[in-house]
Amino acid sequence: MEAKKKSIDDSSDWHWWFFVAVITVLVAGAASITIWRSFHELHNRVLHVRRPFNGVTLKYSDALGISTQFFDVQKSGRLENNLIKWRGDSGLEDGKDENVDLSKGLYDAGDLMKFGFPMAFTATVLAWSILEYGHHMDEVKELKHAQESLKWITDYLINAHPSDNVLYIQVGDPDIDHKCWERPETTAEKRPTIQVNTTHPGSDVAAETAAAMAAASLVFKNQDPHYSKLLLDHAQKLFNFANSYPGVYTKSIPSIQDYYNSSGFVDELLWAAAWLYHATQDRYYISYVTVLHGNMFANWGNPTWFSWDSKLAGTQVLLSRVNFFGVKKEISIVENMNLQMYRRTAEALMCMILLPPVTSQKTNGGLIWVNEWDTLQYSIATSFLAVIFSDYMFTSNTPYIYCNGKLFEPMNLREFAISQADYVLGNNPVNMSYLVGFGRNYPQYVHHRGASIPIDANTSCKDGFIWLNSTKPNPNVAIGAVVGGPFLNDTYIDSRNNSMQGEPTTYNNAFFVGLMSGLVSFSSVARSFT
> DSSP secondary structure string, 457-508?
----TTTTHHHHS-SSPPSS--TT-B-----TTS-----TT-HHHH---HHH
Classify residue 13: in a domain, yes or no. Answer: no
Residues contacting residue 37 through CB under 8 Å, at least 6 positions apart: none
Classify residue 461: in a domain, yes or no. Answer: yes
| Tens digits of residue pLDDT in 370-387 | 999 999 999 999 999 999
Classify residue 512: in a domain, yes or no. Answer: yes
pLDDT band with cut points at 50, 70 and 90 for residue 318: very high
* pLDDT reported for residue 359: 65
Whether 447 is catalytic? yes
| Tens digits of residue pLDDT in 189-199 | 999 999 999 99
255 SS3 class = helix
Ranges assigned E (strand) in 186-330: 193-196
CB 240 within 8 A of CB 194: no
Instruction: Give percent of the chain above pLDDT 70.
Output: 91
Residue 512 main-chain phi, psi, to 5 deg = -70, -40
Classify residue 37: in a domain, yes or no. Answer: no
The amino acid occupying position 185 is E
CA 411 vs CA 63, 342, 347: distances in Å: 21, 22, 14
| Tens digits of residue pLDDT in 449-502 | 999 999 999 888 999 999 999 999 999 999 999 999 999 999 999 999 999 999
| Tens digits of residue pLDDT in 106-153 | 999 999 999 999 999 999 999 999 999 999 999 999 999 999 999 999
The amino acid occupying position 326 is G
Give dist(CA 271, CA 262) in Å, integer: 15
> Which residues form the domain of 303?
59-520
Classify residue 49: in a domain, yes or no. Answer: no
Output the domain CATH number for residue 496.
Answer: 1.50.10.10
Classify residue 12: in a domain, yes or no. Answer: no
Structural domain tally of the chain? 1
Q: Rounded to an integer, what is the distance from CA 436 to the centroid of its chain?
A: 20
> Helices 116-139 and 312-325, interaxial angle, to 10°?
40
Classify residue 84: in a domain, yes or no. Answer: yes
Classify residue 131: in a domain, yes or no. Answer: yes
Q: Which candidate in 136, 145, 278, 447 is catalytic?
A: 447
